[in-house]
Chains A and B, each alone.
Chain A
Amino acid sequence: MSKIAEITVNVDEYLALDKYEVDEESAHVELVDDPDDEEFLKLVRVCPAALYKVDADGKKSFDYAGCLECGTCRIACGSTIVRKWENPQPTMGVEYRFG
């Protein structure tokens, strides 16, 4: 598996400053089951919200709740491990106050 340098920043704290209406019912971004490690690491590198994580034991996790709806994961891995990328349901998702 390729390497990711030590991550010292906690992006979740930054996302907590943003305004969201999280859709608890349905995920607007979904990955395939058992995504390929190297493809997943691509998303660890490029997602500006750090939604794709690999913990110390190598366990992968993804949470759409803090999504900034930029579409980067769709462009990077839309033909591999990102199975679904849709705009969130009406009125849901991020709402920039500055932008």
Chain B
Amino acid sequence: MSETDFDVIVVGSGCAGAVAAYTAASAGKSVLVVERGNFAGAKNMTGGRIYSHALKEVFPDFEQEAPLERRITHERIALMDPASQMAIDFTSPELACEGKDSYSVLRAPFDQWLASKAEDAGAEYICGIAVEELIKDDAGRVVGVRAGEDEITAQVVVLAEGVNPILSEKCLGNPRPKASEMAVGIKQVFELPAGQIEDRFLCAEGEGAAMLFVGDCTHGNVGGGFLYTNKESVSLGLVATISTAADASNPHPVYQMLEDFKNHPAVAPIIRGAKLVEHSGHMVPEGGYDMVPKYVFDGCVVAGETAGLCMNMGYQVRGMDFAVASGQMAGQAAVEAIDRGDVSEAGLSSYKAKMEESFVIQDLKTFSKWPRVMEGWDSMFTDYPVMAREIFNAMFSVDGAPQKPLMKRMMPIVKKRGLLKLAREMRGAVKSL
């Protein structure tokens, strides 16, 4: 094999790219990371929360080093109609167990830390310039990247360009994700003193809450709201499936949805008096296993969101743990292929084998039907929140008139929707979860 400038070039320094770079550099390979932001994280956004298990595999002491915001020990799920909210709040010691725990993060500080780990391991960085093209040889094998005027070669390119897969489409021939497979995320960060966050969310010092909302937060469109408590700020936003939010039947632009969500009587008190400090937007791959493209090529492997690795279960949203794990496996596979002297698609196929043996592909496969079920489950976003309001009003509201037994108050609410229809919908959803 002819000499290359680097053993490995990584495109993008998010969770997948930085971990791939760290893994390859730690194994003694020469690594270049090309990051389009002026620093790692400058272009990145999360809801968000990272489940720590994958990070712990790579950095066993991350709790002491990483710029984590709060350990999430309260899980809240809320069903909201235009004026009401029914929320569940769950907390348990298990949520804080090492290896099962999760942390809110902000990507600008978090990704800079990840990049520093890769740099400390020996990876070189170029920031502030986007890779415009993957260079191929005559046989179609990826042999490097072009960024501006520079052409830089490597034995293996790890493509971790993020959720907007421009190079994956243009240079690897992967399909453009469909509007029905992608959601648009919109988020605002509000500063609040730590004590106020702990008081408002009933959390112990340093601990935090994650909250997912469904219903009127998206004005009934497929999607949902989210809230994560950071050290001294709160991340509040929503996601909406692009195809349905763009549809002519939806009169509400996503930024107006967010504004209305912020003004909802159950949400406004959360951010009362808080100072807005950033407004951000980012896409989320939500198509699940069916949208995962080809991710092993001659001379190139694809990791993280570029490979569609993300899961929105409604009650649980995961992406960064998939990115970290796929980055680690991509880095390992690149090292092994280089050591064996075969960086062809076959030589790099251990990446695919590792992915399929791991939680990444297995979880995506297990829940592969869910995205379609969620998309077609209109009543979850429209009528169920209203039903919850009627049920709990019937339970909690007292006007002094002689009360009927509870069942007599409840049954009309359920019956008018059709018991069988509700049971069928629930069964369909539970089967895909």
Contacts and interface: CB of A to CB of B under 8 A. Distances in A.
Given A11-B255, A71-B163, A98 B176 contact: no
Interface stretch (B241-249, B318-326, B328-336): B241-249
Nearest to A74: B164
Contact of A90 (B128, B245, B249, B283): B128
A32 interface: no
B152 interface: no
Interface residues of B, number: 57
B184 A17 contact: no
B256 A49 contact: no
A4 B111 CA distance: 38
Contact of A8 (B148, B259, B282): B259
B43 interface: yes
Contact of A99 (B107, B178, B186, B249): B107
A95 to B, nearest CB: 5
A74 B148 CA distance: 22
Interface in A32-48: 38, 41-48
B318 to A, nearest CB: 18
A75 B108 contact: no
A98 B148 CA distance: 28
A48 B186 contact: yes
B187 to A, nearest CB: 8
30 contacts: A9-B258, A9-B259, A18-B280, A38-B248, A41-B248, A44-B253, A45-B247, A46-B254, A48-B185, A48-B186, A48-B254, A49-B279, A49-B281, A50-B253, A69-B164, A75-B164, A75-B176, A75-B177, A90-B129, A91-B128, A91-B129, A93-B43, A96-B108, A98-B108, A98-B235, A98-B277, A98-B278, A99-B106, A99-B111, A99-B278
Interface of B: 36-38, 41-46, 106-108, 111, 128-130, 148, 163-164, 166, 176-179, 182, 184-186, 188-189, 233, 235, 240, 242-243, 245-256, 258-259, 276-283
